[in-house]
Amino acid sequence: MLNSASGIAVLSRITALRIPDTQVITPSPLTRNSDPGAEAPVSVFSIVAFGVRIQFRVPNALLDTLPAPIIPGAEFDDRGPADAVFSVQRKRTSQGIPVYELAQNGTVIGGECSLEPTARALESCAQLTVATLAKDSVFVHAGTVGWQGKAIVMPGRSFSGKSTLTMAMVRAGAQYYSDEYAIFDREGRVHPYWRIPRFREDSGRKVASRLLGDVLDRLPPVPIPLGWVLLSRYQTGIDWQPRRLTPGETLLGLLDNTVALRRQPEHSIKTLARAIAKAEGFQGLRGEAADLVRKALAQR
């Protein structure tokens, strides 16, 4: 557990962490239907995931492109007001080019010229919003696997290599939990975020598909206690020789990647401090993912 000095150090550094935030509104609830008055048919529906209700207003043409479910663990539920609203409208630029305009809570946040990148942007924004607004869970940007009944959590921002590390762990026999978020409950246990891993390169997507196969069609694994937190940064030709972290340093490594820290600092700190009570943290530069994985799993 953290001592008082460690706790003070954690609190003093919170304002320096790079944490995303999301505006919250409470619109009037709408039920699933279509909007015949729009230029293109629009579907309106709501889902609930991790206690957060998200409403979508999207062209029917976009529905087949969206992943199912758009947020892991989500269920359709139109009862009650939404915590956030996403809408997609097909418009034209001043040059007459068709564009799909994406808005969150009435504010335009992006635009794409075709359906596939629009679906990816909508999925990413919706998942980040749920991670930000989740009421009973703490979301940490991290790749996550299970090994010998404990979770290995590898924090990192998008495109930091956490998906590559996660799949290298799976290739070595670890149980897949997530390539995007480690989800901690109030007891500090780690839950799966059951989605297809995301890679920029075709080779990465093929590896993920081959390794996981029909795994994601099964029930997600059960929550497990945290075992290790691995903080690493890639550098060519480096052998992974990490140093052991103090509990305070381990907590800060998680908090630096915690989505809702600004919105729920006390809840985030208490939950993650509870999670690391019997865990170990390590930090060091790494070369190839396989080198880190081989050494890490051999020590657990």
DSSP 122-187: HHHHHHHHHHHH-SS-EEEEEEEEEETTEEEEEE--TTSSHHHHHHHHHHTTPEEEESSEEEE-TT
Average pLDDT score over the chain: 83
pLDDT, residue 9, reads: 45
pTM score, two decimals?
0.83
Least confident of 44-53, 202-211, 217-226, 255-264: 202-211
d(CA 87, CA 7): 41
What is the tens place of the pLDDT at every residue in 151-188?
A: 999 998 776 778 889 989 998 999 999 999 999 999 99
pLDDT, residue 32, reads: 37
Reply yes or no on whether the pLDDT at 211 is more than 80: no
Domain segments of the chain as ranges: 4-20+136-299, 33-133
Reply yes or no on whether the pLDDT at 57 is more than 50: yes
pLDDT, residue 204, reads: 57
- What's phi and psi for 96, nearest 5 deg? 85, 10
Q: How many Cα atoms are found within 13 Å in the side-chain-facing hemisphere of 114? A: 2
d(CA 273, CA 268): 8
Q: What is the dihedral of CA 109, 126, 156, 140, to 10 degrees?
A: 130
Q: Which residues, other chains included, contact 288 with Cβ-Cβ below 8 Å and sequence gap of 6+?
A: none
Least confident of 25-34, 54-63, 235-244: 25-34
Reply yes or no on whether the pLDDT at 299 is more than 80: no
pLDDT, residue 135, reads: 86
Residues in the chain: 300
pLDDT, residue 136, reads: 92
d(CA 270, CA 267): 5
CB 129 within 8 A of CB 48: no
Reply yes or no on whether the pLDDT at 21 is more than 50: no
pLDDT, residue 10, reads: 42
CA–centroid distance for 116 within its chain = 20
Q: How many Cα atoms are found within 13 Å in the side-chain-facing hemisphere of 103? A: 14
pLDDT, residue 196, reads: 80
Question: Confidence band (pLDDT; 50, 70, 90) for 40?
Answer: low
Arch. (CATH architecture) of 4-20+136-299: 3-Layer(aba) Sandwich (3.40)
Helices of type H across the chain: 4-13, 60-63, 115-133, 162-171, 202-212, 247-255, 265-275, 289-299
d(CA 205, CA 164): 10
pLDDT, residue 68, reads: 76
Residue range 136-151: average pLDDT? 96
Q: Regarding predicted confidence, which is higher, 285 or 30?
A: 285
Reply yes or no on whether the pLDDT at 4 is more than 60: no
Least confident of 14-23, 45-54, 133-142, 186-195: 14-23
